[in-house]
Chain A
């Protein structure tokens, strides 16, 4: 977790948010401070395929199914976190 300390995410105790931030860290080439408002593609410049790959990691971690259709509607980290909470609520 040492790597994510500098992102300042310790202020947020949402475990899904923290999980996404730790998965995003290797893709965060600009070393941006990760917040819920950050747009994955526009701000972090993570390409659309990498976002889908990250979602696959989350699916296996939480053992849930996240349809591609759901992902294409999320733009920010916060929206992705909310979508995962909603699916966890239904499937978990």
Chain B
């Protein structure tokens, strides 16, 4: 056995995909043309798998703010939040997010992944227990590992399953943290946040909600699924990312618990990495101000969601859930998923392919993400490609899957 033997099996699969010339896990955006178009394999392609939900990647105000910060504050902070990497912009963005959410405290991390990693590993210690929804994202699992706390999974979106697990949990654990997501990014299904909060609190546990895919998208003020479910006042911790609705990179954890501030000197992923660059912070701040001032972006997104979800339903495609910013088509196996993914790309539409073990219940799927920036021409191109796919792949249709 050598250091490299463990890669063999997946390397064979990866290389096999690469030999076809169309590896879904090695796509290169050769040139970006705008929020919804890029050149892939030398060809103009509609982007329908980029989580650019509010279409802010080319927002002029965000670009101008980033350019100004770049010129005035330099290319990087060259330090961590804990040392020399906290600029006025970082503090202003934290205050802005807290105000947007109606919560008191907020910490900005360098990526969304690190926000969950640092939030969970910072809050939970070796004597505590974490209960996570079975479908939680990899960064939540990694946060659990880094925390050293005892981790127990409960059934996806099932408050009763959480209730049972909290009931039988050994009383020796000092603290208990329950982790869920607002909208789950594989199927586009949403959590009953309020019910989870009630179950968690009944057992003396705290609730941590990852709203990476739902921040800016759900709720009357864009505060996420927690707001839409009337649970903003009862959740304990809220995490999000800048890389989707705010179209930058970075992440945050917000809360009304003052204890969150203690993570500034106890969360390793916060303390031991460089802070986001001034330009990143400036564009995220400008995008936040823009989405707050422009509810029409959210309305446009939901109009596009309704149109695409309606069309895909009409084509008889086997959809994973109701209308949501993520619309996933379930496919019978990896091979079909790969062929259907290729088919869409050949028809000028880029989506994400997801296969086990990256998916729940060993499912293979194609994930379409909707954007407020998708124009009527983009939506037509997407629906045309999916209509042709529904014809070419009976296994993608409801009747075909049985």
Contacts and interface: CB of A to CB of B under 8 A. Distances in A.
Contacts of A66: 152
B378 interface: no
B150 A52 contact: no
Given A56-B134, A56-B153, A60-B164, A65 B356 contact: no
B172 to A, nearest CB: 11
A52 B168 contact: no
Contact of B168 (A48, A63, A68): A63
Contacts of B164: 60, 63
Contacts of A53: 134, 361
B144 interface: yes
B152 A52 contact: no
Contact of A52 (B134, B144, B161, B170): B134
Contacts of A67: 150-152
Interface in B357-371: 357, 359-362
A1 interface: no
A82 interface: no
A60 B153 CA distance: 11
A1 B260 CA distance: 52
B292 interface: no
Nearest to A72: B145
A5 interface: no
Interface string A62-78: 01111111000000000
A49 B357 contact: yes
Contacts of A63: 164, 168
B11 interface: no
Contacts of A49: 356-357, 359-360, 362
Contacts of B362: 47, 49-50
A65 B165 contact: yes
Given A56-B134, A56-B155, A64 B168 contact: yes
Contacts of A56: 134, 153-155
Contacts of A47: 356-357, 362
Nearest to B130: A68
Contacts of B134: 52-53, 56
A48 B362 CA distance: 10
Interface in A37-89: 47-50, 52-53, 55-56, 59-60, 63-69
B33 interface: no
16 contacts: A47-B357, A47-B362, A49-B356, A49-B357, A50-B356, A50-B357, A53-B361, A55-B153, A56-B154, A59-B165, A60-B161, A64-B168, A66-B152, A67-B150, A68-B141, A68-B153
Given A49-B362, A65-B170, A68-B141, 8 more contacts: A47-B357, A48-B357, A50-B356, A55-B153, A56-B154, A67-B151, A69-B151, A91-B168
